[in-house]
Amino acid sequence: MIKQVPDPVLELHNLTVVYESKPALWNVDYTIPENHLIGVVGPNGSGKSTMLKALMGLVKPSSGYAHVYGKEIDEVRQRIAYVPQRNSVDWDFPVNVFDAVLMGRYKANNLFRRVSKADKEIAMEAIKKVQLEPFVKRQISQLSGGQQQRVFIARALAQEADMYLLDEPFAGVDAATENSIMSLLKEMNANGKTILVVHHDLQSVKDYFDWLLLMNTRLIASGPTEEVFTEDMLQKTYGGKLNILSRVVEIIEKQGHPIREK
């Protein structure tokens, strides 16, 4: 099932990305409506991160295109905030939390303008929203994994974008941090933001997202979560891996172990 929508905020058409003669994305074609909280789900190596990078213009498609708000990415880049995977960043870079978040206020076409008082206030408000006020002057290398993830999200918030692309924002964070981040994303969505989240935990999909993309190099399904998140579609996405995942969860639950630490 691939549901096409009129007037999409995000449109991919026959998008293919090839690395060293091997397709990372193959002929991906979908449309996304505005103001949805969208989960991007699939096995490791299924092209989820590559798709976000292609949307941001960080990798060049072999064929096809991506349009955001009906335009090429370079025309609307300031309307999009991108939060990459935490392990893709050099956290030893000598910058504190406030300055890292303030980077979200720099415009691509005006990197050398003076930072205004309003910019600093917006950055500080973003830090408050992710509950990092006590760490505002701390070097980012001295933060925990969950705190580093929140710095990334605060920087994206400071950008005041319309669309947010987050690549596995819950990887390596505890349950409390995940719940805090998810509450913030839902609040942003309620305020009209469109949010795409690469996600790996099938148990929380129905609670987190109202629209879903299922991927395994190619697009398996796209549409409202209640229509797409079915056993048949998941089998097509994960194949035999789904049976293994389901079995592991079942064993853990029977033994009385929590799936995640609180």
Q: Which domains does the chain have, with CATH numbers?
A: 10-254 (3.40.50.300)
Provide CB contacts within 8 A for 146, sequence distance 6+.
Answer: 172, 173, 174, 177
**What pLDDT, in 10s, does the model give residues 26-38?**
999 999 999 999 9
pTM (two decimals): 0.85
**What pLDDT, in 10s, does the model give residues 110-145?**
555 677 889 999 999 999 999 999 999 999 889 888
Provide CB contacts within 8 A for 134, sequence distance 6+.
Answer: none
pLDDT given for residue 4 in this prediction: 79
Q: Are strands 163-167 and 80-83 parallel, antiparallel or unpaired?
A: parallel
pLDDT band at 252 (very low <50, low <70, confident <90, very high): very low
pLDDT band at 240 (very low <50, low <70, confident <90, very high): low
| 166 DSSP 8-state letter | E
